[in-house]
Amino acid sequence: MIELHHGRAFVNGVSLHYVEAGAGALVVLLHGFPDFWYSWRFQLPALAAAGFRALAPDLRGYNLSDKPAGIDQYRLDRLAQDIVGLIRMVGAQRATLVGHDWGGVVAWKVAHDAPEAVTHLVILNAPHPASFRQALRTFSQVRRSWYLFFFQLPWLPEAVIRAWDYAIVRRVLRGASDRQATSSADDLQAYTTALSQPGALTAALNYYRAAFRSFWREPMQVTSPITVPTLVIWGERDPYLGLRLLKNLDRWVPDLRIQRIPDAGHWVHIQAREKVTPLIIEFLTQGNPAERIPRPGG
């Protein structure tokens, strides 16, 4: 049985909690909203068994990681610097990044700003920032992204999400949004416990607030091509992010492979894990994705 190990790394002014398994080439798994490291509970042991060192942090503001006050603390450039620092702090110079939702947006940014730190990039239902900026000019994507605007309000989004013991979060994670369950009762309790950590919910919403403030001035600061080999895996039944976001993606990502999963939604790595996890492993084993760094004590 693969063991999971908990650790902490102090990077970029914050302490990040992470969970890891295995030894070998480093693969860093970045979760989205409203997740935490637990979103990768299926991929961590599978990657470890395949000979990788898999590491999933709680991103800044989430669960057991630090939650600095203020919207400015959650700018995309800070989030990307956290991940570059984390790679260095665990003893590596380069890593594969696997990102879902907000974790994917952060991964795009790291690959753009610090390509020397990234060997392979795997993106799961997370729009390239420049592509998303274009898509938001269409009614269909604005309709799907209504919550982005709602989250700009002070205090009200927090109140709505906390209401009735995080009922809206439970509903989404039960699969009400795309008719596919992602979580058991125990899973739901783990998610609500993570969101209930002091300051966690406001920190998570501050990702959206920080992004919105600069969105129309700069396409989230990812404009030049992503040069690392990239696999995009997309659940076609995503109610939040339309397939239009894949159109002409090779304009910004020339070394690109796209794998669409027709029977999965937004949480494609959970809903279609029996397809997604082997796809990730296959992509990473086509070459040597990163230097081999053993886990301390492992």
Which residues have a catalytic role annotated? Answer: 101, 208, 266
Long-range contacts of 1-8 (CB under 8 A, 24+ apart): 2/44, 2/45, 2/48, 2/49, 4/44, 4/45, 5/295, 5/298, 7/90
